Amino acid sequence: MHDIRLTRDEQTVPGNVLVITPMGKKILRNDDEFDFDWHFQDVISPVVTEAGMTPVRADSVYGPANVLDVVWRGIQQAEVCIVDFSCRTPNVAMEYMAAKLIGKRMIYLAQHADDIPSDVRGLRHIPYTPLYADMARMRAELRQQLEAVRLEPAQEMALIPLATGGVTPARAQVVSVSADFAVVRAADGTLGVLSGEDVDWSRIVTDMTRFCTVGEWLDGAFEMLPAGGTKYTLLSGQQNPWRQLEATHPVGHTFTGTVHSVRQVGVFVRISGSVNGLVPRSSLPAGTELTPGSQVEVTVLSVESRRRRVTLALAQGRAQGRGRPVVPFPSSGATSAGASPGVALHERLEGEVVKIAPEGQGGYVLLRVPDRERPVFLHCSAMSGQLRHDLNHGGIELGEILDLEVSSINLHQDKVCVRDVEPKDEDGPEDLPQAA
């Protein structure tokens, strides 16, 4: 470990859970073989995902060839660490001490109390065995501890501050990208993390792989955080419009706006700057005719700054100007078994939420889409991590519009399954004031 300096130079990635565990198959005390890779994939990862967090293991963390450097990066980025002391693996003990060094919040597992190193015994841990009942109990307790430990105050080692402090404009190259964030590196070697919240004030990018690619250069800045550490952002120097918007456009406020675009999901009305509000198509009165440039009087139904979403309602009889009619979602046109499903495989479309069943009650959402009488089915396993978190924490509402892709069609049962996807920027990113 002589070639790795345990100096903190990476910020925490919210939601990351680093699982520090033995790798591969190991022999237990009773001489049975246990597959820790299976344990991570099929037991721990689903629990972490159900808690609305992202499971990470060292072999999935971006980094150079040096394994220790990769592990150190993963430890720094973790919001919580799960440490499995089973089989007394030396690497696990070393990684535990590194996480302890910078004050990471941790949850401990062990198949036997004696597996915990003697100098740290007495730690409260979750015991488990390969038996089904013990594994089920461990899953339940792990879920509870994950939810509890996130509420504990973090007391971590601060990152190395930038020499200039404040904001440092810098062109940086994308060196790694996942759905949740991109890792960038400046010409001087400075590394930073760019999240979907630091790309565009008008929306949140829910899949960074659709925004940038490895090798691409970005013009942004490294920015000091109030609690210490740095992040990379493309919004430096731009005023956050949502703070003022909450004050100037509270719920119930009625104003006259200009239609920016008309799409299948509904009508986008410019509110302020690059922020648009959405009048859902399902709420439009029959026969309403709008076109970009029309003046409309609308009322604010909700402002969700965290999700960068504004929902509006059209004041009836207040529209001015004419254009092509806005066609409402069909209410008829049944499809029987063996008939056309009304959609095509891999088709992109928007759906209106008509039923919500969190995990434990089915784990799915039903959505109404054009050209179908029966709703389509979106299972939690086909949702992005953020949407799955919203499903289980009341973050999805009836009438909400989601962007979807058809993943399977069963003509005999007239069943269409979908997955949620990043909204298409058909009219440019300014058309998307929010992202689920």
Residues 6+ apart with CB under 8 A from 134: 127, 128
Q: Which residue has the tokens 């699982």?
A: 19
Please tell me the distance from the alpha carbon of residue 398 to that of residue 183, in angstroms, as a whole number. 36
For 329, which DSSP code? Answer: P
Order across the sheet with 54-56: list the strands. 54-56, 16-20, 80-84, 105-110, 126-127
pLDDT at 88: 87
Q: Where are the domains of the chain?
A: 16-149, 167-233, 242-314, 348-431
Please tell me the distance from the alpha carbon of residue 102 to that of residue 8, in angstroms, as a whole number. 8
Q: Does domain 167-233 have CATH number 2.40.50.140?
A: yes
Domains 167-233 and 348-431 share a fold: yes
Strand, helix or coil for residue 398? coil
Strand, helix or coil for residue 132? helix
Tokens, residue 44: 């721990």
Q: What b/e readout covers 211-248, taking b as 16+ CB neighbours within 10 angstroms?
A: bbeeeeebebbbbbeeeebbbbbeebeeeebbeebeee
Tokens, residue 58: 């060292």
End-to-end CA distance of the chain: 43
Give 352-365 pLDDT, tens digit per residue: 999 998 888 888 99
Topology at the third CATH level for domain 16-149? Rossmann fold (3.40.50)
For 273, which DSSP code? Answer: T
Please tell me the distance from the alpha carbon of residue 223 to that of residue 165, in angstroms, as a whole number. 8
- 140's torsion region: left (phi>0), alpha (psi -120 to 50) or beta? alpha
| Helices assigned H by DSSP within 257-376 | none
User: How many alpha carbons lie under 13 Å from residue 98 in its C-beta half-sphere?
Assistant: 26
Q: Does domain 348-431 have CATH number 3.30.70.120?
A: no
The angle subtended at Cα 16 by Cα 13 and Cα 19, nearest 5°, is 140
Give the pairing of strands 54-56 and 16-20: parallel
- What pTM, to 2 d.p., does this model score? 0.40
Radius of gyration of the chain (CA): 25
Please tell me the distance from the alpha carbon of residue 200 to that of residue 428, in angstroms, as a whole number. 12
pLDDT at 11: 75
Tell me which CATH code domain 242-314 carries.
2.40.50.140
Check: CB of residue 45 under 8 Å from CB of residue 36.
Answer: no
Is the pLDDT assigned to residue 436 strictly greater than 60?
A: no
Check: CB of residue 15 under 8 Å from CB of residue 393.
Answer: no
The angle subtended at Cα 140 by Cα 136 and Cα 142, nearest 5°, is 110
The angle subtended at Cα 296 by Cα 295 and Cα 301, nearest 5°, is 145
- To the nearest whole percent, how much of the chain has pLDDT over 90? 22
Give 55-114 pLDDT, tens digit per residue: 988 655 544 444 566 788 888 888 999 999 999 888 888 888 888 888 889 999 999 888
Give 300-359 pLDDT, tens digit per residue: 888 888 788 899 988 754 444 433 333 333 333 333 334 457 788 888 888 899 999 888
